[in-house]
Amino acid sequence: MRGRKIVAATAIGLSTALLAACGGDDSDDAADDGTVSGSVSMWIYPVIADDATHQAFWDEKVAAFAEEFPDVDVSVEIFPWAERDQALTTAIAGNSAPDVVYLIPDQLPGYARNLEPVDDYLSDEAKDDYLDNAVESVSIDGQMMGAPILSSVIPLVCNKQVFDAVGVTEYPSTWDDILELGPTFKDAGYYVTTYGGDVAGSLNLSFYPLLWQAGGDVYNDDGTEVAFNSDEGVRALEFVQQLVENGFVPEDRLITEPPIEQTQFAQGRVACTMHVEPQHLTAFWGEENTVVLPPLTESEQVAYGTVGSLSMLSSAEDKDAAGAWIEFATGAESAAEYDTEGSFFTTKESVGALYEGDPIFGESEKYTGLATVGPLVESAREVMGVLAPEIQSVLIGEKEPQQALDDAAEAAQPLLG
């Protein structure tokens, strides 16, 4: 499987001043020589949905990079999202991996042994410009395994039309608010919120935000044991159990994940959701009824969001050149353009608001600093796979929360290495 390729032409010369910002283990020597040279290959995926726009973006950036770093050849291949891990793993095993690749946080632990930390290849100015939670989202053992280029967040989103129909004028901000509003909406023929229990779905979009809001976490501090069966984890799952048993959430998403247009929240029967990005709801609710609100609070106020980053493979032959490309491509100006084209948010302090005044994106970006990407532990996906069925067993009334979480913890222990 191959992607579309964009290639920069080689030119001449480079100033020492430009090189000084590149970083890298050998960057000082390269700066003394006045050159950064070599070739850089990068794999990227359809972050910008429109193929032509995406290709044009990287075409332009590669050309601009060539003007500043004319002795470096950069090629960018755009791959489909499907089977991207299989393609990258195969390439690494076959010694044909790219030098730079786009990764999201839950991929980083699995590839960590094949990655070159980028800390030494980014200038202090570039590193200092990152939001703290963006750095945390790509750091393993105190080292940045990628340079963030975009972020997302899933805040609380409520349907104004439903609130108006029921006669409720204040939106919820806590778990207690949700539980208190539940009977009011139920009596009027609506649901106060929704929950996705499909075992194939990501717990980042369902249970984990509640676990974090309760003050708990998936693992202990060093990732050697799971911690989701703590008192905080039980409280989070009991909250979900209350929602289900009282009929405050629709049943359509408890077992499977139907197409969004078939769900109760798409059909205007749900007051609020904390698991769907608001821009995906405007087509069903109308922008005027889609109200973006801060993440719910229990012990903590936190939401799930992802961070996309450019990572360097340790097999890259021209690491200084790869580092120069990564810093250029993820720079504030370039990343801000990429973020707006792809409808994502910035990871940079200096960029500020990208969507000020926009009722959907402008409101959502206010909460990017409250987002977390979840655990950066190699077993995270496997642990999710044993935890999700146990959570579902509570949703269908087969187990109580403590038993389900304890059973999941026991099943997860062999996965921790």
Question: Tokens standing for 312?
Answer: 């360097």
Q: How many CB atoms lie within 10 A of CB 362?
A: 14
Count of positions (residues) in the chain: 417
Contact 100, 318 (CB under 8 A): no
Nearest in space to 182 (alpha carbons), one of 301, 294, 271: 271
**3 state DSSP class of 116:** strand
How many CA atoms within 13 Å lie on the side-chain side of 325?
A: 33
Task: Give residue 254's Cα distance to chain centre.
Answer: 23
Per-residue pLDDT of the chain (417 residues; tens, 9 = 90+): 334 333 333 332 323 222 223 333 343 344 334 379 999 999 999 999 999 999 999 999 999 999 999 999 999 999 999 999 999 999 999 999 999 999 999 999 999 999 999 999 999 999 999 999 999 999 999 999 999 999 999 999 999 999 999 999 999 999 999 999 999 999 999 999 999 999 999 999 999 999 999 999 999 988 899 999 999 999 999 999 999 999 999 999 999 999 999 999 999 999 999 999 999 999 999 999 999 999 999 999 999 999 999 999 999 999 999 999 999 999 999 999 999 999 999 999 999 999 999 999 999 999 999 999 999 999 999 999 999 999 999 999 999 999 999 999 999 999 997
Q: Is the pTM of this model over 0.85?
A: yes
**3 state DSSP class of 280:** helix
Nearest in space to 412 (alpha carbons), one of 396, 388, 392: 388
Q: Do domains 4-153+306-372 and 156-304+379-416 have the same CATH topology?
A: yes
Rounded Cα distance between 185 and 318, Å, is 61
In the block, which residue shows the tokens 């409720």?
168
Would you tell me the crossing angle of helices 231-245 and 401-412 to the nearest 10 degrees? 130
What is the structure's pLDDT at 222?
Answer: 86
What is the structure's pLDDT at 417?
Answer: 72
What is the structure's pLDDT at 2?
Answer: 33
Q: How far is CA 339 from CA 8, 303, 361, in A?
A: 22, 20, 11
Rounded Cα distance between 265 and 2, Å, is 39
Indicate the CATH number for domain 156-304+379-416: 3.40.190.10
Contact 213, 298 (CB under 8 A): yes
Q: How far is CA 263 from CA 92, 161, 188, 240, in A?
A: 40, 17, 18, 18
- Which residues does residue 115 pair with via DSSP β-bridges, in sequence order? 313
Question: Tokens standing for 356?
Answer: 């000020």
Nearest in space to 58 (alpha carbons), one of 70, 71, 43: 43
How many CA atoms within 13 Å lie on the side-chain side of 299?
A: 13
What is the structure's pLDDT at 160?
Answer: 98
Domain ranges of the chain: 4-153+306-372, 156-304+379-416
Report the top-level CATH class of 4-153+306-372. Answer: alpha beta
